[in-house]
Amino acid sequence: MSVKPIYVTQPFLPSLDEFSVYLEQIWKNKTLTNGGPFHQQLEKALCEYLGVNHIALFNNGTIALITALQALKIKGQVITTPYSFVATAHSLLWNGIEPVFVDIDPKTLNLDPSKIEAAITPKTTAIMPVHCYGHPCDVDAIQEIANRYNLKVIYDAAHAFGVDCHCGSVLNHGDLSVLSFHATKVFNTFEGGAIICPDAQTKHHIDQLKNFGFVDEVTVNIAGINGKMSEVNAAFGLVQLNHIDAALDARKRVDALYRCLLKDVNGIRCLEDAGERVANYSYFPILVDESYPLTRDELYQKLKEHNIFARRYFYPLISEFPMYKNLDSSASSNLLVATDASKRVLCLPIFPELSDGDIKKIVDVIDEGEKS
Ligand code: T4K
């Protein structure tokens, strides 16, 4: 029995001394928010690191999603995936938009492009796919459909920090991409998020939207929101960025060891990548098949008894929550692959400081289950 709890994730925290230097700076200049110097530095540093042209920082990923939809004036119906964190669909409801759920691809667990067209109606204005677990969607197929039907594409890229697909950063696809920098993410600013914008004009518009719609001291031309990231959060992001490559390498080690140790465990499947050139190892989902002696929920409980807190991301499906379950597209007959995945998936702990010993312990518990 493992004594200390092992959580699905633990944020990487650089030394307090390193962060203190930035805090002293904030104390000195007394700029706490509203686009201060660390905010500006972080935007610049992230553009360089991620290989994108323009970025607008936010106080969290959900407000960024809501604002992205506002920026493109999306209305009517938006096609999206039920297999995600609930914020994806909530951002649509907060804009008075009806989500239309489409099933996912069994290999990648991302929105299945071959099922999108059948869900398009005269009210459809956009597609909101999710790069689930940081695995890129089929961005070319999605764009081709969007072009044909004149739809916008807003990627919920909350999991996709630092991921490259076949042609560079996956964040450059679609009209806008939205990141989350929540504490549980690969790169975090405690709470935070961002919108990747294709051009300076769009960023300018989004910067106004996240600042109440202010144009200047006396002019407000749009009904904006307060989506600004504070200086403390931005400073923490800069500190994180100093260590991001080491953190991603450490995650890669965890991913590789799991795959090696789990390969002979009957009934457990590891999700493969989706062809990304650079992965971020943000989650480690396994699928519990019928040939494994325990159900997914039994394995989840068994791990818990050993103080190992795996998570069922994403169960229940978004379409099963009360505010969505009566939509036509929420019928489980429409979402067979997603329904099946949500019953099988278990995300194992993955974070930079997870030791080889702990990984072996986790796999031993799973392996014991196989022999029980
Ligand atoms: N779109 C997608 C696809 C998303 O996955 C998310 C967020 C969003 C949009 C929205 O972005 P934000 O508005 O959040 O920026 C977590 C996160 O709260 C959520 O951000 C994330 N997705 C989701 C997938 O996971 P919970 O309910 O699982 O969090 P919680 O508090 O149970 O944390 C999980 C484990 O992490 C804990 O057992 C221990 C560890 N932990 C957590 C926190 C908060 C820490 O060690 N330290 C911490 O500070 O939702």
Mean pLDDT on 34-58: 98
Q: Residue 1, exposed/middle/buried by CB under 10 A (0-12, 13-18, 19+)?
A: exposed
Q: Dihedrals φ, ψ of 5, to 5°?
A: -65, 145
| Top mutation candidate among 12, 109, 184, 321 for ligand 1, by most atoms within 8 Å of CB | 184
Is the full-model pTM beyond 0.85? yes
**Pick from 2-6, 172-176, 250-254: least confident:** 2-6
Q: How many CA atoms lie within 13 A of 351 on its CB side?
A: 19
Pair 251, 279: CB distance under 8 Å: no
Q: What is the pLDDT of residue 2?
A: 45
Q: Are the C-beta atoms of residues 278 and 163 closer than 8 Å to each other?
A: yes
User: What's the token pair of residue 284?
Assistant: 């480690």
Under the banding of pLDDT at 50, 70 and 90, the label for residue 370 is: low
pLDDT value for 3: 74
**Cβ(327)–Cβ(99) under 8 Å?**
yes
pLDDT at site 371: 66
Ligand 1, CB cutoff 6 Å, lining residues: 7-11, 60-62, 84-85, 87-88, 130, 156, 158-159, 180, 182-184, 193, 309, 311, 313
Q: Is the pLDDT confidence value at 67 over 90? A: yes
For residue 79, the 8-state DSSP code is: E
Q: What is the pLDDT of residues 310-334, one digit of tens each?
A: 999 999 999 999 999 999 999 999 9
Look at residues 243, 268, 264 and name the one whose alpha carbon lies nearest to residue 353. Answer: 243
DSSP H/E element including 357: helix 356-371
CB distance 318 to 324 below 8 Å: yes
- With beta carbons less than 8 A apart as the criterion, state whether 324 and 89 touch: yes
**Which of 63, 61, 111, 108 minimizes the C-alpha distance to 329?**
111
Report pLDDT for 126: 98
* Length reported for the chain: 372
Q: What is the distance in A from the centroid of ligand 1 to the CA of 299?
A: 22
pLDDT, mean over the chain: 97
Helix and strand totals (H; E) in the chain: 10, 16
Given a cut of 80, is residue 273 above it in pLDDT? yes
Q: What value does the mean pLDDT take over residues 129-142? A: 98
Q: Write the residue with the smallest CA distance to atom 12 of ligand 1.
A: 61
Is the predicted pLDDT of residue 78 greater than 70, yes or no?
yes
Contact 56, 40 (CB under 8 A): no
Cα distances (angstroms) measured from residue 289 to each of 286, 335, 346 = 10, 19, 11
What integer pLDDT is reported at residue 301 of this predicted model?
98
Residue from 85, 93, 132, 229 to probe ligand 1 pocket by mutation (most atoms less than 8 Å from CB): 85
Structure tokens at 145: 């459909």
Q: What is the CA radius of gyration of the chain?
A: 21
Q: How far is CA 29 from CA 23, 96, 120, 231, 239, in A?
A: 10, 41, 52, 11, 18
Helix axes 37-50, 16-29, angle to 10 degrees: 130
Residue 372 pLDDT greater than 80, yes or no:
no
Average pLDDT, stretch 144-159?
98
Written as one letter, the residue type at 13 is L
The mean per-residue pLDDT over the stretch 176-184 comes to: 98
With b meaning 16 or more CB within 10 Å and e meaning fewer, what string describes 275-295?
ebeebbbbbbbbbbeeebebe
